[in-house]
Homo-oligomer: A and B are copies of this chain.
Amino acid sequence: MITPGSSDAIRVAVSAVIFSLRSGANGDRLMLPLVRRTRDPYLDAWALPGGWLDPAEDLDAAASRTLAETTALTPSYLEQLYTFGDVDRSPTRVVSIIYWALLRSDLVDAQRSAAGAPENVEWFDVDDLPPLAFDHRRIAEYALWRLRNKVGYSWIGAGLLPDEFTLTELREVYETVLGRRLDPSNFRRLLEGSDELVPTESFRTGKHRPARLFRLAEKA
C-alpha cells in the first residue's frame, strides 16, 4: 500500500511509439525515435517521446503535440494503442496513454535538414533498441506487434511512403515490416483487388521499365 501523502494524485501522461523507415546499412530499416531523459527518474536513459496531458487538451491532440515536439511533423497514421497504469511502473503514480504513429519517410528527412534535428532525440532500429526507461521496452514491443499485425490485413503500410509510390516500393515496405519475402505477383493481385489503393497515370522512370505509381484512395 502507498501511504497517502501530501499528494496521492494520479497524473496522466501521453506518449507515442513513432515508426518510420530510414535507410540503414542494408536497405531501409524500421526505426523509432527515442528521447534522452533530462530528469530523474531514469535520468539520461532513453524513453518514448511524451508529456503530461494538458487539462484542456483532447487525448489525440496531446499525442499529436507530443509527436510534433520530437519530429515537428504530422503523422500519416495515428491510433491509440493501450493505457498502461500499473502502480509500480513509475515511482509516482502515472497513467500513460500510449499512441502509435507512422511517419512518411520523405517528410522526416525533409524536416531533419530544415528545422535542425531536435536535441536529445535519436532514431533506433526496432530490432536493436537500447535499454529503456520505465516499462517503455514492453510498450515499444507491444506497439511493434500491433503494427505487424495491422500490416497483415490492411494497406496502412503505405503511410510509411510518400504520396505516390510504385508497387515494388510498397512491397518492400511490407517485407521490411513483416520481416519476410512476399511474392511480387501475388502482392500485386492483392493490391488490385483492393479499393484502398488506386493507380495514377504517372510512372517512375529509372534504370529499367518505368513503374506505375499508386496512391492511397481518398477516404469515402
Contacts and interface: CB of A to CB of B under 8 A. Distances in A.
A34 interface: no
Given A12-B10, A12-B12, A53 B95 contact: yes
A59 B1 CA distance: 15
Interface of A: 1-2, 4, 8-12, 53, 55-59, 80, 82-87, 93, 95, 97
Q: Is the interface of A mostly helix, strand, loop or mixed?
A: loop
22 contacts: A1-B56, A2-B55, A8-B55, A9-B9, A9-B55, A10-B11, A10-B12, A10-B53, A12-B85, A53-B85, A55-B87, A58-B85, A58-B86, A58-B87, A59-B83, A59-B86, A59-B95, A80-B83, A83-B83, A83-B97, A85-B97, A95-B97
A117 B209 CA distance: 73
Contacts of A57: 87
B56 A87 contact: yes
A84 B53 CA distance: 13
Nearest to A5: B55
